[in-house]
Each structure stands twice: as structure tokens, then as C-alpha cells.
Amino acid sequence: MEENILMYIMLLLTQLICASLILAILTSIFVKNRKKGITFFIIYILLNLYSLSIGFKFSTIMGSGMLIIYIGLGVLTFFVIKRKLSNGTSI
């Protein structure tokens, strides 16, 4: 049982780190060039949908955790991009 909990924690931490890095890159690209940023965002959404389908096939807990991570980081990224665009600053 402990091995399963450790595996869930490791997979969720990996998803958290990867999603954070990708959304940081998205923020940089979107602020510099909106067209490229939207393209990158669409690719990111498609990869997330694929990743979520695998996560939910693996277990409901895993899929739910991934969904919470993606929604939380997505909302955070939205506010960061909104603030950067309103200030007129770029990275």
C-alpha cells in the first residue's frame, strides 16, 4: 500500500513540475507574440487532454489530482499574463 501512495505522490509531483515549466514558457511566448502563444496553448491543451485520459484510466484519484493541478496552475498563469499585459512589461 505504501508503494502505491509513494507512486501517486511522485507522479503528481512530476505533473506539477512539468506543468509549471510549460506554463512559464507559455507566459513568456504569449507576452512576446500572441499568435505563437495561442498556438503553443492549443498544443498544451491537447497534450493535457491526452495526459488526463491516461491519468483517469490509471485511477480516478490520479486523474482528479492532475485535473486540480492543471486548473490551479492555469488560473495562476492567466492572472500572471493579464498582469504582464496590463503593465506593458515583457520578460
Residue 37 CA to residue 50 CA, distance in Å, equals 20
Alpha helices in 33-87 (DSSP H): 34-58, 60-87
Nearest to 68 by CA among 20, 14, 16: 16
Name which residue leads in pLDDT, 1 or 52: 52
**Domain span holding position 16:** 2-87
pLDDT of residue 8: 86
pLDDT of residue 11: 87
Cell, residue 74: 492555469
Domain count, the chain: 1
pLDDT of residue 31: 87
**Contact call for residues 12 and 65 (beta carbons, < 8 A):** yes
Cell, residue 37: 502563444
**Contact call for residues 29 and 40 (beta carbons, < 8 A):** yes
